[in-house]
């Protein structure tokens, strides 16, 4: 039971705001020592305790080898490069150009600005994958337009938050790269499998906006025609000029992976070069911009790898204390069909944990415990990974700690209350859960095999 107690102790400390990487490392060290003392016993009093401490610390002798294995992992090399690509594209003003042109194109229909926000969120997800940047950019540009034309505030804020999180499921997604490493499956396979669920989510968002605006005209009114925008043909040309460069980059990055020309790591390098070329094209390139993007990429990547090292120590102690065996025994004895009982229980557990902890911690702490059980049940690792990725996307929206909610709250006017944002994301959370359940029960609809 030491491993189970260790898990709840780590979760308790995280809820109090302790740094994630240090929490996992410290809790692992403490419970590793406790496990060593319990194993040796207390027969010789103080000497037994000292011997137990030494026994507990000895399990960390292999940590340097585990850290070296992380450092030599070529899959994880794609993480800093995709982050760098996303930050460069953020600094080029890509979001602004896309939102402006799309807004003009769809603004004259009811819910048009909200629909254009979803479409721009999709393009940003496929080209940058940086959730925070997408939410902030759309909050700064799209929200004032929706407020100007009297959009319902919860609908406007919910649309922005949900659209910004599409980078979690639509490739190239950092979540999918991390899950590819955890599951030891080709990242390219996960990218291909994620395309249809991601597009289904986009379609469901747009359908919801259309239905809401159709039945309640005041929630998302159309923008009146403006002669200064030029003809419809001119608006289409402007929109295409904004879309084509980013679409070209998406085709270069994802197309090279799907065609088997390049690995995800190699295509991330192509993406970095493409992002720099786009910056030059948009006349926003500077050495200082590259320097800032590099520093920011290093900071974000260091956070991810710091968590990974702490999580490695945590999973090592958890396995040593037999925590994985307790979890496996529990999971294998769930009532009903053991395969679907396992899937539904894990999805519920990850969904609840997503209210409190980030996707990186869930990916490196919870998922490695579940992978062997899924393998024993004959569950396809690709299907299971996509289910988890879709579920982790929801964690960005779920109150009270959803990151998208915080990103948006940081840039909205004071008149937009936190409760408006919370109310706005609830329908989109329901949509995500609905698509997730469809993916659970009808994976073949998305072109994914459920079994190995």
**pLDDT above 90: percentage of residues in the chain:** 11
> Tens of pLDDT along 362-407?
888 888 888 888 888 889 999 999 999 998 888 778 876 677 887 7
As given in the structure block, the two tokens for residue 78 are: 């794609």
| pLDDT for residue 174 is more than 80 | yes
Split at pLDDT 50, 70, 90, the class of 352 is: confident
Q: What is the pLDDT of residue 304?
A: 79
The mean pLDDT of 8-22, rounded to a whole number, is 78
Q: Quick check: is 27 in a domain? A: yes
**pLDDT above 70: percentage of residues in the chain:** 93
Q: Quick check: is 295 in a domain? A: no
Nearest to 96 by CA among 74, 64, 70, 128: 128
Residue 280 in contact with residue 273, Cβ under 8 Å? no
| pLDDT for residue 225 is more than 80 | no
Q: What is the pLDDT of residue 408?
A: 84
Taking the C-alpha atoms of residue 406 and residue 417, their distance in angstroms, rounded to an integer, is 12
Q: Is 326 left (phi over 0), alpha (psi -120 to 50) or beta?
A: alpha
User: Is 267 found in the same domain as 185?
Assistant: yes
Q: Quick check: is 375 in a domain? A: yes
Domain count, the chain: 2
Q: What is the pLDDT of residue 229?
A: 57
Q: What is the pLDDT of residue 202?
A: 93
Q: Quick check: is 297 in a domain? A: no
Helices and strands: H and E segment counts in the chain: 21, 0
User: Is 270 found in the same domain as 316?
Assistant: no
Residue-number span of the structural domain to which 132 is assigned = 73-285+330-452
Q: What is the pLDDT of residue 307?
A: 81
Taking the C-alpha atoms of residue 224 and residue 54, their distance in angstroms, rounded to an integer, is 75
Q: Quick check: is 153 in a domain? A: yes
Q: What is the pLDDT of residue 382?
A: 93
User: Is 8 found in the same domain as 59?
Assistant: yes
User: Is 86 found in the same domain as 181?
Assistant: yes
User: Is 229 found in the same domain as 198?
Assistant: yes
Q: What is the pLDDT of residue 196?
A: 92
> Tens of pLDDT along 288-332?
988 998 998 888 888 878 888 888 888 888 888 887 778 777 777
| pLDDT for residue 451 is more than 80 | no
As given in the structure block, the two tokens for residue 182 are: 């955890």
Average pLDDT, the chain: 82
CA dist 20 → 131, 132, 357, 394, 448 (Å) = 20, 19, 9, 20, 34
| pLDDT for residue 410 is more than 90 | no
Q: Quick check: is 126 in a domain? A: yes
User: Is 89 found in the same domain as 45?
Assistant: no
Split at pLDDT 50, 70, 90, the class of 24 is: confident
Asked which of 29-38, 65-74, 233-242 is least confident by mean pLDDT, the reply is: 233-242
Q: Quick check: is 296 in a domain? A: no
| pLDDT for residue 29 is more than 60 | yes
Q: What is the pLDDT of residue 128?
A: 65
Q: What is the pLDDT of residue 255?
A: 84
Phi and psi, residue 430, nearest 5°:
-60, -40
Q: What is the pLDDT of residue 434?
A: 93
As given in the structure block, the two tokens for residue 227 are: 């002669």
User: Is 59 found in the same domain as 189?
Assistant: no
User: Is 104 found in the same domain as 21?
Assistant: no
User: Is 350 found in the same domain as 315?
Assistant: no
Split at pLDDT 50, 70, 90, the class of 232 is: low
User: Is 102 found in the same domain as 2?
Assistant: no
Q: Quick check: is 377 in a domain? A: yes
Place of tokens 């200064």: 228
User: Within the chain, what is the greatest distance between any pair of CA atoms?
Assistant: 90
Q: What is the pLDDT of residue 107?
A: 66
User: Is 243 found in the same domain as 211?
Assistant: yes
Q: Cα Rg for the chain, rounded, in angstroms?
A: 24
Asked which of 196-205, 245-254, 383-392 is least confident by mean pLDDT, the reply is: 245-254
The mean pLDDT of 229-252, rounded to a whole number, is 75
- Mapped onto helix, strand or coil, the DSSP state of residue 451 is strand
User: Is 78 found in the same domain as 67?
Assistant: no
Element (H, E) at 52: helix 46-58
As given in the structure block, the two tokens for residue 378 are: 């004959």
């Amino acid at each position: 039971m030491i491993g189970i107690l260790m898990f709840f102790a780590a979760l308790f400390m995280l809820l109090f705001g302790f740094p994630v990487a240090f929490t996992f490392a410290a809790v692992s060290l403490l419970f590793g020592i406790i496990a060593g003392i319990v194993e040796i016993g207390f027969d010789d009093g103080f000497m037994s305790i000292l011997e137990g401490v030494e026994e507990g610390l000895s399990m960390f002798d292999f940590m340097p080898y585990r850290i070296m294995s992380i450092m030599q992992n070529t899959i994880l090399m794609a993480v800093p490069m995709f982050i760098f690509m996303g930050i460069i594209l953020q600094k080029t003003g890509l979001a602004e150009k896309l939102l402006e042109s799309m807004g003009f194109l769809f603004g004259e229909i009811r819910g048009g600005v909200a629909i254009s926000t979803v479409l721009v969120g999709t393009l940003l997800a496929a080209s940058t994958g940086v959730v925070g940047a997408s939410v902030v950019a759309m909050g700064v540009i799209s929200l004032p337009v929706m407020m100007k034309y009297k959009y319902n505030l919860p609908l406007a804020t919910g649309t922005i938050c949900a659209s910004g999180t599409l980078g979690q499921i639509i490739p190239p997604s950092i979540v999918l790269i991390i899950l590819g490493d955890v599951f030891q499956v080709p990242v390219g396979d996960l990218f291909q499998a994620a395309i249809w669920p991601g597009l289904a989510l986009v379609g469901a968002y747009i359908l919801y906006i259309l239905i809401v605006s159709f039945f309640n005209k005041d929630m998302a009114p159309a923008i009146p025609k403006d002669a200064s925008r030029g003809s419809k043909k001119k608006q289409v040309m402007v929109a295409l000029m904004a879309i084509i460069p980013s679409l070209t980059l998406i085709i270069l990055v994802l197309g090279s992976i799907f065609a088997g020309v390049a690995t995800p790591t190699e295509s991330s390098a192509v993406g970095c070069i493409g992002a720099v070329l786009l910056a030059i094209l948009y006349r926003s390139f500077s050495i200082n911009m590259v320097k800032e993007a590099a520093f920011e990429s290093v900071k974000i990547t260091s956070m991810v790898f710091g968590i990974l090292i702490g999580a490695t120590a945590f999973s090592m102690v958890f396995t040593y204390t037999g925590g994985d065996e307790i979890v496996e025994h529990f999971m294998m004895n769930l009532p009903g069909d053991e395969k679907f009982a396992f899937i539904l229980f894990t999805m519920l557990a990850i969904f609840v944990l997503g209210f409190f902890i980030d996707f990186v911690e869930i990916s490196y702490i919870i998922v490695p415990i579940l992978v062997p059980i899924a393998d024993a049940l004959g569950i396809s690792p690709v299907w299971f990974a996509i289910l988890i990725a879709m579920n982790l996307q929801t964690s960005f929206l779920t109150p009270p700690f959803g990151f998208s909610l915080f990103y948006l709250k940081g840039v909205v006017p004071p008149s937009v209350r936190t409760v408006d944002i919370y109310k706005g994301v609830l329908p989109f959370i329901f949509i995500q859960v609905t698509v997730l359940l469809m993916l659970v029960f009808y994976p073949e609809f998305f072109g994914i095999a459920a079994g190995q």
